[in-house]
Structure 1
Amino acid sequence: MDSLIIRPLAPREPLPMHLLLLADPSIDMVLSYIDQSHTFIAEQNGKVAGVLVLQPQGNEAEIMNVAVEESLQGKGIGKRLVEFAINLAKQQSIHQLIVYTGNSTLPALALYKRCGFKTESIDKGYFLRNYPEPIFENGMQCTDRIKLRLELKAPA
C-alpha cells in the first residue's frame, strides 16, 4: 500500500466515472455536483485505484463521493481517502466534515464511524424519492439516507 498516492484530478483528465458510479449510481446526480467540487485520484502503481470528491461549503465541507476499484476494496484505500479528506479539511480551517450514505451501504457506514463520524440524522425514504431505480446493496434495499458529521479541530 506504500505505493498509494492521492493527487488532484488533472485538468482535462477524464473523470473515473465507473468509480464515481460505484458510490452514486445516478450519473445525473454525479454530474450535478462534480463541477462545484474538488476531485482527487488515488493511484497505486500508476493505476487509478480510487476517487474522492470533496465539496467545500463555507466552514464545512461535504464528502460527495468516495469509491475504490472493486478488486482493491478492503485494502485500506477507502480509509486513506477519508483520512486525506479529513486532513485537507483541517489544513483549510474547515470546522466540520459531513457525508451522506445509504442505510444499506454497510462498509461505507462502518468506515465513516471508524474515522470518527457521528450519525446526525436519517432522511427516511430519500432513495425511494430521488432515484428512479431501486438500489440494492448487501442483500437489502437502500431506502434511507444517513447524514454523518465529523467535528474538526484546527491543527496546532
Structure 2
Amino acid sequence: MLQPKLSIEQLSQTTDIPFDLLELADPSRVQIDKYLKTGTCYVAKIASKTVGVVVLNEIDSFHIEVKNIAVRTKEQGKGIGKALLRHSESRGRDLGYSKLIIGTGNSSIRQLALYQKEGFEMDRIEKDFFLKNYSTPIFENGIQCKHLVILKKDLSK
C-alpha cells in the first residue's frame, strides 16, 4: 500500500498555527509565542491534515536554528520528523546560511539519536536551561530535563 504524499508548506497566517503540535515539543506557550514572532513556521501535511511542524529562526547571517520541531504522536516513526529536518536544511542552504542549529533537552533520547543520525554534531550544553526558563519541571523517559543540548550541522557540505 502506498503512503500518502507528504507536503511541507510555509504558514502565512498566524491564525493557522498548530499550537497543539508545537506544545508537544515545548510546553511553554510563552516561549513558543516569543520565537513565532521572529521565526518562520512550516507545516507537514498528508492529505490536507497537519501532521508535523517546524519553526526556523535566524540567529545571525551564518546560522539558522530549528526552534521547534514536532510530529503528531500517531504519526511518529514514519519519517516525518526526518523530512522536516531535511526541509530545514534545504531552506537554510537556499537562504544562504552555513550552519543549522538545533537544541533539545538532555532527556530527549529519541531526538538526540535522530539529530545525530541526520548529521548533526554535539556543539555545547547550556546547563540548567530548563530549570531557569520553565516554571514546571519537565520529565521525559524517567529523566528530568535540566540542560539544553545544542547540536550543529554544516550546510556547506
TM-score (normalised: structure 1): 0.94
Instruction: Could you list the structure 1 runs, at least 4 aligned residues long, displaced by more than 6 angstroms after superposition.
Output: none
Q: What is the aligned partner in structure 2 of residue 34 from structure 1?
A: 36
Which SS does the other structure have where 2:153 is aligned?
A: strand
Gaps of 5+ in 1: none
Give 1:13 shift: 3.8
- Pair 136,12 (structure 1): closer, same or farther in 2 beyond 3 Å: closer
**Alpha-carbon distance between aligned partners in 2 of 1:72 and 1:149, rounded to the nearest angstrom:** 26
Conserved 8 A contact 2:106-2:147: yes
**2:98 aligned to 73, 95, 99, which one?**
95
Q: Deviations over 1:80-127 (max 9, x none)?
A: 000000011111111011111001111111111111111111112111
1:1-156 → structure 2 map (5 Å cutoff): 1-57=3-59, 58-153=61-156
Give 1:2 shift: 4.8
Give 1:11 shift: 2.2
TM-score (normalised: structure 2): 0.93
Which SS does the other structure have where 1:121 is aligned?
A: strand
**Alpha-carbon distance between aligned partners in 1 of 2:126 and 2:14, rounded to the nearest angstrom:** 36
Q: Provide the identity percentage.
A: 38
**RMSD of the alignment, in Å?**
1.2
**Alpha-carbon distance between aligned partners in 1 of 2:99 and 2:14, rounded to the nearest angstrom:** 30
Count of aligned pairs between the two proteins: 154
Give 1:12 shift: 4.5
**Alpha-carbon distance between aligned partners in 1 of 2:13 and 2:125, rounded to the nearest angstrom:** 36
Gaps of 5+ in 2: none
